[in-house]
Each structure stands twice: as structure tokens, then as C-alpha cells.
Amino acid sequence: MTRAAIAALGLLALPAPAPAAPADWVLNDNAAHGLALNLHGFGENGLFFGGGATLDLPVAPRGFGPDHNDAFFVSIQADAGGLVGVGPGLNVAAGVRYRVYLTTWFAPYVFVRGGAQVRWIAGTGLGAIPSPYVAGGGGALFRLHPRIGLHVEGGWPGGRGGVTISFGAPRASASTSSEDGGNEP
């Protein structure tokens, strides 16, 4: 009992944490967003595990409206992995990703992809078995730096997470750009 009371008093003596700084909201910035490479590990249906990459090509780098910070990308994805108890596999897909930048460090998104998958069934002599591949869901980008962030997403057929590398950090909006268009060097 005495130890618990001393511990409680010790906690009261700790300095209070500093108040959090207000979020750096950029929802109304309308910045241009560039090419991004997403390197990830994944799990699908609890059976297919591996790694891959998705390349996001900006189609509408300033999004769909002048008064909010969003972007629309065409995505090309390739994944390689193993199907538990079966053998190796490969997914190749293309799709779209729509991302809304709420703060300088946080951007939720939705995506849809479709393509082909190939599975090699080990020990059956069947060889490669192609089939359609469809994926969709949502996720979030957490920027650690203007060009580097972490992403996590979930949906059908599973989840993935990894590192995002931006090859063109957000460019200044039209309202804050300089004569050179606000482009970075």
C-alpha cells in the first residue's frame, strides 16, 4: 500500500506534457503532388505473403477542385510472394488511387486495381496458372519527411504496408506560387 502511494505521488510530481501544436492543416492548399513509389510487404487472404512495389503516376496532381488538397493517380503494381502450402505467385495490376491531404503529414486514400495473377502450384506439374486479380480498399500515408513516408492499407483481398518515396514533394499552390510556378529545384 505504501509503495503504491509513493508511486502515485511520484507520478503527480512529473511535469505535465507540453500542449500539442495545432495540426498543420493543408486541406485548402491545392498543392501539386508528383510521382510516388510505394515499396511494401503484404498478406492476402491469410495465405499469400510477399513484397512488391506500386508506382503512382499523377494524372490530376492538383486533384479535382481549386479549394482542396487532393490528387488522383494511375497506379501500376507488381507483387511477388508465396502461397502457403502451394508455391510462388506473382500479381501484376493497374488501377487508380485518390488521395486527400488533410495535413502536411497525413493523407487518407482509396484505391481500386485490377490485373492478372499467376500461381505456380508446386509438386503438381501444372505449371503456371493465370487468373484475374482485383483489389480495392483504403489506406493512409503518414509522411515522415516531404519525400518519405509510411503507408498502410486494407481491403480486398488483404492488407499491405511499407515505405512511400515521393519524387516531387508537394509544390506550392497557385495562390502561393512564385513566377516559376512554385516548382522546387
Report whether 93 contacts 135 (CB < 8 A). yes
Average pLDDT over residues 17-33: 61
5, containing H or E segment: helix 2-13
Q: Tell me phi and psi for residue 173, to 5 degrees.
A: -70, 165
- Cβ-proximal residues to 176 (8 Å cutoff; 6+ apart), any chain: 29, 182
* Contact criterion met (CB below 8 Å) for 184 and 178: no
Average pLDDT of the residues of the chain: 78
Q: What is the pTM of this model?
A: 0.72
Most confident range (mean pLDDT) of 8-17, 101-110, 113-122 is: 101-110
- Which pLDDT score, from 0 to 100, does residue 164 have? 94
For residue 114, CA distances in Å to 11, 16, 136 come to 54, 51, 9
Q: What is the mean pLDDT of residues 162-175?
A: 70
179 pLDDT more than 50 = no
Domains and CATH numbers, the chain: 24-167 (2.40.160.20)
Torsion of CA 25, 27, 29, 31, to 10 degrees: 110
Burial status of residue 170 (CB atoms within 10 A of its CB: 0-12, 13-18, 19 or more): buried
Question: What percent of the chain shows pLDDT beyond 90?
Answer: 37
How far is CA 97 from its chain centroid? 10
The DSSP secondary-structure symbol of 32 reads B
Q: Which of 19-28, 58-67, 94-103, 154-163 has the lowest mean pLDDT?
A: 19-28
Q: What tens digit of pLDDT does each residue of 33-68 get?
A: 888 999 999 888 777 889 999 999 999 888 887 778
Q: What is the pLDDT of residue 65?
A: 77
Tell whether the model's pLDDT for residue 17 goes beyond 50: no
What is the mean predicted confidence (pLDDT) over 10-27?
A: 51
pLDDT digits (tens, 9 = 90+) for 119-164: 776 666 667 778 898 999 999 999 999 899 999 999 998 899 999 9
pLDDT for the residue numbered 171: 57
